[in-house]
Chains A and B, each alone.
Chain A
Amino acid sequence: MMTYLLDVANHTGVVTRISLIFRRHGANLQSLSTAQTEHPGIVRIVITSEIERRPAERIKGQLARLVDIFKVDMISHDEGTFRAFGMMKIACTMQTRPQILQLLEIFNGRVLELTTEWILVEMTGTPEQLEGLMQVLQPYGILEAVETGPIVIRHKSPGNGSRPQPVWEVVPGALAAETSSTSNSSQEEKHNGTNLL
């Protein structure tokens, strides 16, 4: 399982651009979550996908080329804190209810609604913990279950622990020199261009 952490511009179509690259490599998106960050206009996207290391690296490189993407990281489970959220509706009887409630206590699940026929629970945890709760509840009958993909905070943020700042480059008149086209104007263009993208 590969986990990608992307800081992207909040532009229309950016998720399409990203998913196209996964699709091109035949990679299925296991989960995708998008959320606003503390930077206005910047969105954090976390994607998990079941792919081999080689295509995963190619995907990373091709994601990094996208104009709307500031930063791409692939991180493993020990490099950050992962949290996903799940809701499950479990069948119960008067006999099984106490057992289920006991299990929920162990897993830190919380009861949202309770009837004589089912219990609706929510849980926040690592994807593995959610998977664990699902497994122990399986024998009682899961009527419905949904789970978000994980969101992630890195343990070590690059650059002395501070969050990396996605940088917008505002380039007023960056290319104004071209209109007065002299013999070395193409060099200037080149130079200006390379610093930007």
Chain B
Amino acid sequence: MKLTGAQIVWQCLEREGIDTVFGYPGGAVLPIYDALQHTPSIHHVLVRHEQGAAHMADGYARATGKVGVALATSGPGATNLVTGIANAMLDSSPIVCITGQVGSKLIGTDAFQEVDITGITMPITKHNYMVADVNQIARTIREAFIIARAGRPGPVLVDITKDAQIASCDFEWDFIQPRLRKLETWSQPDPAQLAEAAALINQAKRPVILAGHGVLQSGAMEDLRLLAETSDLPVALTLLGLGAIPHFHPLSLGMMGMHGEAWVNHAIQSADLLIALGMRFDDRVTGKLDSYAQGAKKIHVDIDASEIHKNVRADVALIGDLKQVLPTLIPLVDQQKRTEYWAEINGAKGEVAVRDIRNMPDTGHLYAAHVINDLWRETKGKALIVTDVGQHQMWEAQYYHHSDPHSLITSGGLGTMGFALPAAIGAKFARPNADVWVIAGDGGFQMTMAELATIVQEGIKVNIAVINNGYLGMVRQWQEFFYERNYAATPLVNPDFTKIAEAYGILTFSVTHRDQVASTVRKAREHAGPVLIDFRVEQEDSVYPMVPAGSALHEMIRRPSAIVETAADE
């Protein structure tokens, strides 16, 4: 069967099981857009900015584990993808970005809308390709999908010249032979290392599991729970690991790191064994490395060998997929109860007891914590939350108690403001029945709010909560703590977000008091179409506790006043 390069692109995407592509047309991808009509099984979502397309593909990938696809034209279309690609790289999200390129004869001539996008994206992709030969398109796209999801997932970019899109060649899917190097398979972890890991766990008096994104990506939630329950191990989570074990599971400690609870970080600092599962000892999790968990041996399990010893030296390293490693490790681990150890951990928890925000005095002020906690109650913790970056992101992690895996999508590694709205659109396409909520700050929301139009054009139901404090809140907080309250360039003069959303035809609410939160969330959920709620929250509120950048993990700035947690909140 003879097909054009453009038709081959769609054929390949269809065979890879893709049903949705996020993109933006332009000169160098016109042949691909023209061929879209022959592939009715794929729905194309027109974005308003290519960064949005990359984030949508990312959100789509994270919500399902399938590969997300973004499509853009050459030049500015391609460079607009860059932030989204870097974001997918740092959070190990499998996406394939397809870009058009100027005709192969024009390459290197500074032609109109020509940019060396493979050169630009080399350091922020797992791999990338430029294809100038129609015969190579199918094989390249197959390889791109294999690479994107193999091992530690990540972004792959395929740049296709316009002449290759137009030219024709034979297309026989079954005869396409991807050609990739073979790497060691990890199905059989080294038995000696496994035995050593089990011995360390069995002997440890103060062990802590550190569970990250890898647990969710591997689908090893049950194995994690089993390991923890077998040896009565406390489980601390990274931001991207939230949901790996239910928040209210008795062995769950919740989030660790810069804005983790003090008692969690103390447990890590005073541990004699850390069992790191699918996490990479990011600086936001460890604080100052020289003083990180000094007395602890470390077992590090990761699918990416280059993560071992990168930041923290591992005493035992198990390289592999958690879903394969944990089932071989668990039978070697002794059943035990750590009653004394748990009494101590829970004792410390009591001393520094958190918040019940319901008990906060109603001073007429609205706090972000109120908003998120009430949202959690109203949605019964079952929503798919997509957060942006900043204070609201940390409050969400603290006050929305995630009990389901894949119930939080957020930009962790790159910390990309503007991520939430487009990522939520992608997630909604991936899980149409999910109750999708965007939680974004007033700063980040304005970075990509053009995608409100995409929501309306596609007629999808996404709920948007703007946590509006009139500041770039997290930066303001750092200025308050470390720059003598010199609020340089952090106050925002905002538009009326409700009017903006109304202009798009979106139902809006404005909330200024605590007692309006629950009822407004209820109204938003009952409405069939998209809703935006502008939450006018306390302006100079800060996220506590906080480990200042470069400080040891236990050197935290604590909440000004401890608020007592009630049993009812559990």
Residues on A lying within 8 angstroms of B by beta carbon are: 9, 13, 16-17, 20, 24, 57-58, 61-62, 64-70, 166-176, 178-179, 181, 185-187, 189-190, 192-197
Contact = CB atoms under 8 A, between A and B. Distances in A.
B305 A197 contact: no
B178 A58 contact: no
A171 B149 CA distance: 15
B339 interface: no
B15 interface: yes
10 A-B pairs with the lowest CB-CB distances in the bound complex, closest first: A61-B306, A197-B150, A193-B150, A169-B182, A67-B127, A167-B182, A178-B17, A197-B151, A193-B149, A170-B177
Interface of B: 15-17, 65-66, 118-119, 122-123, 126-127, 142, 145-147, 149-151, 173-183, 185-187, 219, 303-310, 321, 323
A70 B183 CA distance: 8
A170 B177 CA distance: 6
11 contacts: A20-B123, A58-B306, A61-B308, A167-B182, A172-B176, A175-B146, A176-B173, A189-B149, A190-B323, A192-B146, A197-B180
Contacts of A169: 179-182
A70 B310 CA distance: 21
A190 B94 CA distance: 12
A190 B43 CA distance: 25
A41 to B, nearest CB: 10
Most chain B C-beta atoms within 10 Å of own C-beta, residue among A17, A62, A174, A195 = A195
Nearest to B181: A70
Contacts of B305: 61, 64
A17 B149 CA distance: 20
A17 to B, nearest CB: 6
Nearest to B310: A58
B115 to A, nearest CB: 16
B142 A197 contact: no
Contact of A174 (B15, B147, B178): B178
Contact of A24 (B123, B142, B309, B321): B123
Contact of A172 (B123, B174, B303, B307): B174
A135 B342 CA distance: 68
B529 to A, nearest CB: 30
Nearest to B152: A65
Contact of B17 (A66, A166, A179): A179
Q: Which of B17, B118, B145, B151 has the most CB of A within 10 A?
A: B17
Given A17-B122, A172-B175, A67 B65 contact: no
Contacts of A171: 146, 177-178, 180
A64 B183 CA distance: 10
Contact of A67 (B15, B181, B186, B307): B181
A115 B413 CA distance: 64
A42 to B, nearest CB: 10
Contact of A194 (B174, B175, B179, B186): B186
Contacts of A66: 127
B146 A176 contact: no
A175 B16 contact: yes
B183 A196 contact: yes
A57 B309 contact: yes
Given A67-B180, A179-B17, A16 B119 contact: yes
A168 B321 contact: no
A195 B180 CA distance: 11
Given A62-B306, A167-B182, A175 B66 contact: no
Given A67-B181, A194-B150, A196-B183, 10 more contacts: A16-B119, A57-B309, A61-B307, A70-B181, A171-B178, A174-B146, A174-B178, A187-B219, A196-B146, A197-B180
A197 B185 CA distance: 8
Given A196-B180, A197-B151, A186 B65 contact: yes
Contact of B147 (A16, A24, A69, A197): A197
Contact of B306 (A64, A186, A193, A197): A64
Contacts of A172: 174-177
Contacts of B304: 65
A86 B567 CA distance: 78
B147 A65 contact: no
Nearest to A69: B181
A76 to B, nearest CB: 19
Nearest to A67: B127
Contacts of B309: 57, 61
B183 A197 contact: yes
Nearest to A8: B181
A168 B181 contact: yes
Contacts of B142: 175
A168 B122 contact: no
B94 to A, nearest CB: 9
A135 B195 CA distance: 55
Contacts of B181: 9, 67-70, 166-169, 197
B310 A61 contact: yes
Contact of B179 (A20, A64, A170): A170
Contacts of A70: 181
A170 to B, nearest CB: 5
B15 A179 contact: yes
Nearest to A59: B306
B436 to A, nearest CB: 21
A65 B151 CA distance: 10
A13 B118 contact: yes
Contacts of B219: 187, 190
B403 to A, nearest CB: 22
Nearest to B94: A193
A70 B533 CA distance: 52
A144 B314 CA distance: 49
A189 to B, nearest CB: 6
Nearest to A172: B177
A197 B126 CA distance: 11
B219 to A, nearest CB: 8
A62 B173 CA distance: 33
Nearest to A54: B309
B367 to A, nearest CB: 40
Nearest to A167: B182
Contact of B151 (A20, A166, A189, A193): A193
A178 B16 contact: yes
B145 A175 contact: yes
